[in-house]
Amino acid sequence: MSYVIVDVEADGPIPAEYSMVCFGAVVLDEVLDKTFHGRTRPVSDRFVPAALAVSGYTRDQQLGFEEPPAVMAAFADWLAANTKNRPVLVSDNPAFDWQFINYYFHRYLGRNPFGFSARRIGDLYAGLVKDASKASEWKKYRVTPHTHHPVDDARGNAEALWKFRELGLKL
């Protein structure tokens, strides 16, 4: 099993009505050098300017990104080449990140290589320290700054998750 840390930036709160702007993925291993960065053209005319601004891109820039089917096919190929068995999506907030990845995979490829589940980093940490009230304290283990560039954010989250191994989490 391979853990793939994913981060998504979107121009609104839900897929289909809004668009995934970009996403990053990092395979969890000792070196964290297997990365993917996808940027997708909008699938809707709707967008929330403040949400889009988080990504660091303008609407004009987003309109110049690749078509989603090509990006998702490239991501699926990357997953197949860089993971073993069915990959497991791990995220800071899978309720957000997974929904966009799942929607785009199903809409454009007819399947989601991650299946229908994901892991939340905060929940793993809360279990590790046996205290649900500590679920947000895991972020102190990020090394790469949280910049809202999705590969940076996925790498920082992967660094924290790798630290959990040192703290006794069996992955």
Q: What is the pLDDT of residues 106-152, one digit of tens each?
A: 999 999 999 999 999 999 999 999 999 999 999 999 999 999 999 99
146 catalytically annotated: no
Level-2 CATH architecture, domain 3-166: 2-Layer Sandwich (3.30)
| Helix (H/G/I), strand (E/B), else coil: 15 | strand
Instruction: Write down the domain spans for the chain.
Output: 3-166
State how far the Cα of 147 lies from the Cα of 41, in Å rounded to an integer: 21
Measured on CA atoms in the order 135, 156, 2, 54, is the torsion positive or negative? positive
Q: Are strands 35-39 and 20-27 parallel, antiparallel or unpaired?
A: antiparallel
**Whole-prediction pTM value?**
0.96
37, 106, 146, 148: which is the annotated catalytic residue?
Answer: 148
Cβ neighbours of residue 123 under 8 Å, at least 6 residues apart?
A: 135
- pLDDT category at 1 given cuts 50, 70, 90 is confident
